[in-house]
Amino acid sequence: MASVAHEGHGHDHHGDHHHHEENFISKYIFSQDHKMIGKQFLMTAVFMGIVAMILSILFRIQLAWPGESSDFLSFFLGEKWAPNGVLKEDMYLGLVTIHGTIMVFFLLTGGLSGTFSNMLIPLQLGARDMASGFLNMLSYWFFFLSSILMLVSLFVESGPAMAGWTIYPPLSALPQAVSGSGLGMTLWLFSMTIFIASSLIGSLNYIVTVINLRTQGMTMTRMPLTIWAFFVTAILGVLSFPVLLSAALLLVMDRLAGTSFYLSDIIVGGEMLANHGGSPLLYQHLFWFLGHPEVYIVLLPALGLSSEIIATNARKPIFGYKAMIGSILAIGFLSFIVWGHHMFVTGMNPFLGSVFVFTTLLIAIPSAVKVFNYLTTLWKGSLILTPAMLFAIGLVSTFITGGVTGIILADSALDIALHDTYFVVAHFHIVMGMSAVFGMFAGVYHWFPKMFGRMMNTRLGYAHFWITLVGAYGVFFPMHFVGLAGAPRRYYDYSVYADFDSASGDMMMDLNIVITMFAIIAALGQLLFLFNFFYSIFRGPKAPQNPWNSNTLEWTTPVEHVHGNWPGALPEVHRWPYDYSKPGADTDFIPQDVPLAEGEEEH
Amino acid sequence: MEKLIILIVVILGAIAIAQLVRVYEISAKLRKTGEHEITSRDNNLNAKMMLGFMFALFISFIYLMATYGWTGRGIAASVEGKETDWLLNLNFVIIIMIFFFTNFLLFFFTYKYVRKPGVKAFYYPHNNKLEMLWTVVPAIVLAVIIILGLKTWNDLVAPTGKEAIRVELFSKQFDWTARYAGQDNTLGKYDYKLTTDNNELALLTTNTIDSAINNMMNGSNGISKIQKLLNNRDTILNDSTSNALRQDLSRKERLYRLLAQMKANHNAKLDASAWDDIIQKDTLVLCKGVQYEISLRAKDVIHSAYFLHMRAQMNAVPGMPTRLKFTPSMTTEEMRKVKNNPSFNYILMCNKICGGAHYKMKMVVVVKDKAAYKAWIASKKKETFKDKYFPAAAPAAPVAAMADTTMAN
Residue B323, in any domain of the structure = yes
Query: In 3-state terms, what secondary structure has residue A596?
Result: coil
Taking an 8 Å cut-off on Cβ atoms, the answer to whether A361 and B142 are in contact is yes
State whether B302 and A280 contact (CB < 8 Å): yes
Neighbours of A5 (CB within 10 A): 15
Q: How far apart are CA B188 and CA B273, in angstroms?
A: 5
Query: What secondary structure letter does DSSP report for A12?
Result: G
Please say whether the beta carbons of A73 and A87 come within 8 A. Answer: yes
A354 contacts in B (CB within 8 Å)? Answer: 150, 153-154
Residue A207's nearest CA partner among A117, A311, A342, A270 is A117
Task: State the pLDDT at residue B407.
Answer: 39
Mean pLDDT across A589-601 = 88
Q: How far apart are CA A171 and CA A166, in angstroms?
A: 11
Residue A399 amino acid letter:
F
Q: Which residues have CB under 8 Å from A543's CB, separation 6+?
A: A448, A449, A450, A452, A453, A454, A455, A559, B36
pLDDT of residue A3: 41
CB A130 within 8 A of CB A136: yes
- Shortest Cα distance, chain B CAs vs residue A103, angstroms: 19
Look at strands B283-287 and B362-368 and give their pairing: parallel
| A488 chain-B contacts, CB cut-off 8 A | 306, 349-351, 359
Instruction: Give DSSP secondary structure letters for B208-277.
Output: HHHHHHHHHHHSTT-HHHHHHHHH-TT----HHHHHHHHHHHHHHHHHHHHHHHHHHH--GGGHHHHHT-
Which of B6, B26, B116 comes nearest A459 by C-beta?
B26
Chain CA centroid to CA A105, Å: 7
pLDDT class of B237 with cuts at 50, 70, 90: confident
pLDDT tens figures, B71-80: 668 899 999 9
Which residues sit opposite B296 in a β-bridge? B169, B322
In a domain, residue B2? The reply is no
**Closest alpha carbon to A7 in A126, A132, A136:** A126
Interface-testing mutation among B300, B303, B314, B409, with chain A (most A C-beta atoms within 10 A): B300
Name the band, by pLDDT with cuts 50, 70 and 90, for residue B336.
very high
- Same domain flag for B212 and B184: no
> pLDDT tens digits, residue range A70-121?
888 888 898 889 998 899 999 999 999 999 999 999 999 988 999 999 999 9
**Rounded to an integer, what distance in angstroms lies between the CA atom of residue B273 and that of residue B281?**
20
Measured between CA atoms, the residue of chain A closest to residue B352 is A420
The count of structural domains within chain B is 3
Q: Where are the domains of chain A?
A: 40-264+275-556
Same domain, B248 and B371: no
CA distance B145 to chain A (A): 8
Counting runs of H as helices and runs of E as strands, what totals does chain A give? 19, 2
Q: Rounded CA gap, A413 and A505, in Å?
A: 26
Ranges of H-type helices in A102-224: 115-125, 133-153, 183-212
| pLDDT at res. B135 | 92
For residue A311, give the amino acid letter.
Answer: A
pLDDT given for residue B409 in this prediction: 37
Cα nearest neighbour of A351 on chain B: B154
Residue A337 DSSP symbol: G
Confidence of residue B25 (pLDDT cuts 50, 70, 90): low
Please indicate whether, in this complex, the C-beta atoms of B36 and A72 are within 8 angstroms of each other. no
A456 contact residues in B (CB cutoff 8 A): 35
pTM comes to 0.92
Q: From the CA of B277, how many Å to the nearest CA of chain A?
A: 22
- Count helices and strands (H / E) in chain B: 11, 10
pLDDT of A31 strictly over 50: yes
| 3-class SS of residue B298 | strand
Provide the pLDDT confidence category of residue B28 given band limits of 50, 70 and 90. low
For residue B245, the enclosing domain spans: 205-265
Q: How many CB atoms lie within 10 A of CB B12?
A: 15
pLDDT > 90 in chain A, percent: 81
Mean pLDDT score across all residues of chain B? 88
What pLDDT digit, counting tens, does each position of A43-79 carry? 999 999 999 999 999 999 999 999 888 888 888 898 8
B144 in the same domain as B41? yes
Chain A positions in Cβ-Cβ contact with residue B309 (cut-off 8 Å): 486
Please name the helix (run of DSSP H) or strand (run of DSSP E) that holds residue B284, with its range, or none: strand B283-287
Residues B107 and B237 in one domain: no
Local structure of residue A105 (DSSP, 8 states): I
Nearest chain B residue to A312 by CA distance is B121
Asked if residue A230 lies in contact with residue A113, where contact means CB atoms within 8 angstroms, the answer is: yes
Superfamily of domain A40-264+275-556: Cytochrome c oxidase-like, subunit I domain (1.20.210.10)
Q: Are residues B187 and B257 in the same domain?
A: no
The answer to whether residues B310 and B217 belong to one domain is no
Question: Rg of chain B's alpha carbons, rounded to an integer?
Answer: 32
**Span B289-307, mean pLDDT?**
95
For residue A363, what pLDDT band results from cuts at 50, 70 and 90? very high
Residue B397 has pLDDT above 60, yes or no: no
Give me the phi and psi of B307, to 5 degrees please. -95, 85
Residue B300 C-alpha, separation from nearest chain A C-alpha, in angstroms: 5
CA gap B183, B163 in Å, rounded: 12
Disruptive mutation site among A81, A96, A101, A267 for chain B (greatest number of B CBs within 10 Å) = A267
Is B144 in the same domain as B85?
Answer: yes
Buried b (16+ CB within 10 A) or exposed e, B241-274: eeeebeebbebbbebbeebeebeeebeeebbbbb
Closest A-chain CA to B44: A385
Distances (CA, A) of B378 to A107, B182, B375, B381: 60, 11, 5, 5
> In this complex, which of A69, A168, A491 lies closest to B358 when CB atoms are compared?
A491
- Mark whether B234 and B275 lie in a shared domain: no
Clarify whether residues B144 and B175 are in a common domain: no
Separation between Cα atoms, residue B364 and residue B221, nearest integer Å: 35
Query: Residue B29: its pLDDT value, please?
Result: 63
Q: Are B290 and B254 in contact (CB under 8 A)?
A: no
Q: Residue B405 — pLDDT band, cuts 50, 70, 90?
A: very low
- Judge if B256 and B293 occupy the same domain: no
Give Rg (Cα) of chain A: 24
pLDDT band at A15 (very low <50, low <70, confident <90, very high): very low
Task: Decide if B196 contacts B259 (C-beta within 8 A).
Answer: no
CB-CB under 8 Å, A164 with B121: no
Q: Whole-number mean pLDDT of chain A?
A: 91
One domain for residues B129 and B234? no
Among A71, A93, A528, the residue with its CB nearest the CB of B2 is A71
- Please check whether residues B261 and B344 belong to one and the same domain: no
